[in-house]
Amino acid sequence: MSLPYGRVYNFSAGPGAIPVPVLEEARDNMMNYQGCGVGVMEMSHRGKVYTEIAADADKYVRQLMGIPDNYKVLFLHGGASLQFTMLAMNFMNGGQADYVTTGTWGKKAIEAGGLHGIGTAIFDAKATGYDNAPAFGDLNHTPGAKYCHFTMNETIQGVDFLGDPPADRTDWICDMSSCIASREFDVSRYAMIYAGAQKNLGPAGTCLVILREDMLDRVPNGLPPMLDYKVAVENDWMYNTPSTWSVYVCSLVFKHWIDFGGLSAVQKYNEDKAAHIYTAIDGSAGFFKGHAQFNNRSLMNISFTLPDEDVTQKFLSESKAAGFHELKGHRSVGGCRASIYNAFPAEGCVELAKFMGEFAKANG
């Protein structure tokens, strides 16, 4: 195994891998952006050069994700976690809202959102250890709820809905932090999509928000300006200084995947990558056990366990020595987790699957 710059197979759940050509271009422009004499981190966000970078970020993400014209694109601070609060302040605002809880991040979303109204968990997969997501059609929505929030892909449990919500409701709000741009999505099905950048989009520091315009009519007056979507839109997400470098690198990432063939090509690539690892799990005669139920298996985060703690530790240390890093699972699920975001190379999945097969044979 030989990766450029002595890099390893990085299965980090986030911040995660960034495409090498993007890192190279960012590096080259760090000192002197396209001959303008200063690097991207050192220029005014209101100057001509950065204004063009910001316009490119908007243009490329719209192109990559097929975002309709009646949606605003924002790059905000505070990560996905601040959106838990901000969306509830703007859209629940003392009323009621529904939440579908399929894992750790969905729980955090309702905990934070519930401080700003009545958040009702209309589905909670706690009883089965957060290993599944419901069919959208099975949900019983609360009359009068202002929105229905769900987490498309639960990063820790590796549980994904694997489909867009139906078009018969217009109030879906979705945390896509760990699966954004990993496959095709129909943005028109959502009132709002948001995602922290640091898994599939670029460096930590910015959060992509895609908001249908009519949602702005619901924003109450008097919110703190930094927590008010209307203020963010009116100021082209530059009410204060945005995370200029992070947005710049995200823009390069958007362009990278457009050139790759767009999200249909990315989806095929990710399905093939994940299939290698799931095949290794399924072919291990129960030595490896996937956490998610079959129909909700994430393409991005593959959480699995081994027979006991000793063998898990052995797997982690031997896999690391073989060049597979960051495979330790989250403490709440235990075991291992392979996060294989867009930028994680396909060869790494092939090689990990091979390693898993050999390990199961030697230790089973």
Ligand X SMILES: Cc1ncc(COP(=O)(O)O)c(C=O)c1O
- Interface contacts to ligand X, rule CB under 6 A: 14, 79-81, 105, 151, 155, 175, 177-178, 196
- Please state the closest distance from residue 344 (CB atom) to ligand X, in A: 15
Q: How far is the CB of 296 from ligand X (least distance, A)?
A: 14
What amino acid occupies position 51? T
The sign of the dihedral angle between the CA atoms of 85, 105, 313, 129 is positive
**Interatomic CA distance for residues 129 and 126, integer angstroms:** 5
Concerning whether 199 is annotated as a catalytic residue, the answer is yes
Q: Name the residue type at position 327.
A: L
Other C-beta atoms closer than 10 Å to the C-beta of 135 total 10
Distance of closest approach, residue 101 Cβ to ligand X, in angstroms? 12
Cβ nearer to ligand X, comparing 65 with 193: 193
H or E element at residue 82: helix 79-91
Question: Residue 130: which of 296, 326, 18 has the closest Cα?
Answer: 296
Query: Cβ closer to ligand X: 19 or 79?
Result: 79
CB of 92 to ligand X, least distance (A): 18
- 64 or 109: CB nearest ligand X: 109
**For 191-291, where are the E strands, in sequence order?**
192-196, 207-212, 289-290
Of 107, 199, 255, 273, which one is the catalytic site residue? 199
Q: Give 232's DSSP letter.
A: H
Nearest to ligand X of 178, 312 (CB atom):
178
Catalytic member of 175, 228, 273, 328: 175
Cβ proximity to ligand X, 14 vs 329, nearer residue: 14
Euclidean distance between CA atoms 220 and 301, whole angstroms:
37
248 in Cβ contact with 234 (< 8 Å): no
Helix axes 48-65, 262-282, angle to 10 degrees: 60
175 catalytically annotated? yes
Active site residue 237: no
Measured from the CB of residue 108, what is the shortest distance to ligand X in angstroms?
7
Residue with the closest Cβ to ligand X?
Answer: 79
Q: Hey, which residues are catalytic here?
A: 105, 175, 199
